[in-house]
Amino acid sequence: MTQYFVGPAGWSYEDWEGIVYPPDKPRGFHPLPYLARFIDIIEINSTFYRQPTTSLTLSWIRKLEPFPGFLLSLKLHQVFTHDRKAFGPQEADEFKRGIEPLQAASRLAALLLQFPWSFVQTPIHVQHLERLFRLFAGYPLAVEVRHASWDTPAFYEFLARHRVGFCNIDQPLFDKSIKPSAVCTHPEFSYVRFHGRNTRDWFRKDAGRDDRYNYLYSRDELQDWLERIRELGRNSPKVFIITNNHYRGQAMANALQIKNMLTGEKLDIPHLLLKQFPVLAEIVKKLKNGQLDLFDRDEQPPTAGPVKAKKT
């Protein structure tokens, strides 16, 4: 049985207030257990900006106690992927100490090594990857590259030899942008990330983070990815699917749509999201009418598990 884990990248966004999160929060409210009611995985952004600590990761584990099977994927700190100069075993050991509770509690989906579009395939950059693979050997690793120079059979074989997953991405397409794919290079999981298709703002110099990721996928655009995701599921026991188009809750809306596309299961959808995104109300309406799978009615959805489908 292949398991599909679907969820957004990050949870700390001011523009989610009143859209994803209730404006009047109960005492002790925290976004992590709130979101865990609706999705299966969250990709942690904060570890890209600062090293994780055991006290922080232990707090996440405590908050997730009511949700067995929920996973966290973590971005590797930017010193390893963007600065790429001032790091060594000491920085790697600090990161590993911080995430050890997640590894021990079986909550760690993967460590994401996310590289910028400017990170093109050269012998020096390949050596850099090999160095990181050695430093983080023993952890589930996934590599995201955005430049088409990496789209070669030799690179995929290189990842497979090192037991490192290739991150399949949807991004705005320019000349030399890596295109959508269904590549599996790790025996235990596959990885997919949706960045949106905001071509106008992706490389605009004065565009902020919210501008670049301000995009809502249509049903047809998500449908185009459905077979790729299922193909990954035929080749790996777990598929991690992350929506990074976070602005104003669009990542949550699309994550819930993708869950419905894969399973047809009845979804618990936050009331505020229903108001913001009418397409989710359409899902609820069709499910109530007995149309279990809004997107692919010819296939029988699974009957059990967090998000599962038969492996072929």
User: Where would I find the H helices in the chain?
Assistant: 31-36, 46-49, 54-63, 78, 89-104, 123-135, 153-161, 199-202, 209-212, 219-235, 250-263, 271-276, 278-288
Amino acid at site 126: V
**pLDDT-based confidence at residue 270 (cuts at 50, 70, 90):** confident
CA-based nearest residue to 31, from 45, 16, 46? 16
pLDDT at 230 over 90: yes
Can you tell me the mean pLDDT for 163-168? 98
Helix (H) or strand (E) segment spanning residue 226: helix 219-235
Question: In the chain, what percentage of residues exceed pLDDT 70?
Answer: 89
At 263 the pLDDT is: 80
- Find how far residue 123's CA is from the centre of its chain: 28
pLDDT digits (tens, 9 = 90+) for 116-134: 999 999 999 999 999 999 9
pLDDT at 111 over 60: yes
Can you tell me the mean pLDDT for 257-261? 91
Confirm whether pTM is higher than 0.85: yes
Can you tell me the mean pLDDT for 57-81? 97
